[in-house]
Structures are given as C-alpha cells and as structure tokens.
Chains A and B, each alone.
Chain A
Amino acid sequence: MEFYIHVSAVEDIRRVRVEETLTVGELLAGHAEPGASAWLEETEEPLDPAGTLAAVGVADRAHIHLSRCRRVQVAVRYGGQTKNRHFPPAATVNAVFAWAVGPQGFKLTDAERAKHTLGVCGGQTEADRDAHVGSLATDCAACFDLAPKVRYAG
C-alpha cells in the first residue's frame, strides 16, 4: 500500500510504499524519531503501535502524521487579540481556520469569513489548508495570523 507521511516541523510530505501487514510500531521505527506516535489525518488519538496498518484503518493514499508532540499549542492572532487551543498534530489548517472563525474563536460573520485566511505568523503566504498543524509547529507550538485575503489591484 502507498500513503503519505507528514512529520513534525517539516512542511514537505513523503510518499511511502509498505506492506499493509507492517505494524504502526515498525513504521515509526523506520520513519520517525524515538518516542514518536502516529495519527491518521484529522483524528484525535494516536494509532496503536501494536496494530498492523490495515487493522488500525490506514487506507491506501491515507495521510499519516508522525510526531513526538501529543498536542500542538495553536495560537491565532486577529485584530490585536490572540486565541489559543490545543490540536492533535494531524489536525489540518482547515480545522484551525474553522475553529478560529467560529463561535469559540473570533466569531466572524459569513461575509467576513469569506474574506479572511490563515498565514503562518511572520510569513507572506497563505498556509496550505491541507497542511498538518504539527508540520508547521516548532517545539509543539504553531502560530497563525487570521488576515484579510490578498486582493490584487493596480
């Protein structure tokens, strides 16, 4: 089977081909630093290291995150305020955006939400909505600016 591996603090993803009888622990031993766990994308709990990839539900072309961070402290800055929340490392930027603009976040209206986006603090580009927060974290913490989308003119 083939799937994609995301690693903490590394934006590039890798594609690997392994037997589906491989265990999660064996995958970690070959592709992650000691003490790391594995998560399926957008899931809260790490995969059982004793289970085979097939048994724990890893499908072909799945996205798996390998990290020593059990949770990532996410900070989102907007309008002079900062809101914080912990996310699993395999949460996507899309999930962070949904929280940041929602009722637990900055409570943006539908119209405002359509005009805003997330960028990594200090960066110049929009964060990839499918990127994992763990891949954008340093020391298990990530920071985003909720900012107006660029509107090209003149």
Chain B
Amino acid sequence: MSAVDVQMATPDQRSFHAHLERVPFQAGVDHGRWRVVGIAWPHAIIAVAAAPRPDSPAEFHLRMELTGYPQQAPIITAWDPVADGVLAARKRPRGEIVSVVFRADWEHGRALYAPYDRIALQSHPNWAREYPGQAWNSSRDIIFVVSDLHRLLNSDDYQGASR
C-alpha cells in the first residue's frame, strides 16, 4: 500500500498489510510456501503450495474475507481462480484429515472446517475450548492460518486433488 492508501485504509486493512510484511510471512513467500495473489479489500486471495501428487495442482487458492481482522477470524473459502468462484468438491484436496478441513458439504463450501475460520468457529462455540492451540483469537495472524494449511497440504495425509 502507498502512504496515501495507508491513511485511507481501515484498521483491519492496516493490520492485515502489516502482518503480510512480517518476517515469517515473507520467509514463506521466499520459500515458495505461499504467495499473495491479490487483495480487493475486504478480500484477499492467497495461494498455498501443495506437495506434488499425481495429476494434482501445485497450489490451492484461498479467498479470505477479512472484515474486523484480527479481532475476527477470516472466512476462508477454497477458491477456483479459473471459475472465480467456490472450488468444486471434486477439485478439493483429499486426505483423511485434509478432506475434513476442505469439506464441500458444509456451509456450501464457503468456509473451511477449522477453528481458525470465522464461520466454523461461530457455529462451533465449543471449539475455542476444545482446540485452544488451533482456534483463532485476536493474537493470531494470517501466518498462523497459512502455516497450518501449508502443513496440511504437505503432509503424508494429503492425497492430491483433481485439477
């Protein structure tokens, strides 16, 4: 953002841009673990790299709705950059644990089934207590989210996805 943009930006937007500049996020970019595809506030699309699997994409796009960041968790949607819409079920990453997080049969696929997604956290009020190490709180940042998704997509559990 330019200096003028920073002045015009809302606090959540300023926080998000500041977190993108943090060293661990930039180290991830340098390492090829993730990249910012685009930002059209309050949305950002971040691509997270996935381990090589036969006939599977090299990365997955996540569209984040970031209103109220970081007091509020992002809403994270698995995104199809070609169709510019929610990623179809058959194109979602598979795995015993991975498929749960990326399930398409819940909330019409518009949110991740993980306690760092706003919709998931609001609809499972017990998750903050049951998964304190994974649940979003205002001290978290975008690095927490992309790090966990990168771990999932580069784990032995990840079995690939249709292109």
Contact = CB atoms under 8 A, between A and B. Distances in A.
Physical interaction between A and B = yes
Interface of A: 4, 12-15, 61, 63, 110, 113-115, 117, 119, 123-126, 128-130, 149-154
A130 B120 CA distance: 28
B134 A150 contact: yes
Interface residues of B, number: 29
Contacts of A151: 97, 100
A48 B126 CA distance: 53
Contact of B26 (A15, A113, A119): A15
B95 interface: yes
19 contacts: A4-B23, A4-B30, A12-B24, A13-B27, A14-B23, A15-B27, A63-B27, A113-B156, A114-B96, A114-B156, A115-B96, A126-B148, A129-B154, A130-B31, A150-B134, A151-B100, A152-B131, A152-B134, A154-B124
B23 A13 contact: yes
Interface of B: 23-24, 26-27, 30-31, 95-97, 100-101, 113-115, 120, 124, 126-127, 131-134, 147-148, 151, 154-157
A123 B133 CA distance: 8
Given A123-B133, A152-B115, A13 B97 contact: no
Contacts of A13: 23-24, 27
Contacts of A125: 133-134
A15 B134 CA distance: 27
A93 to B, nearest CB: 10
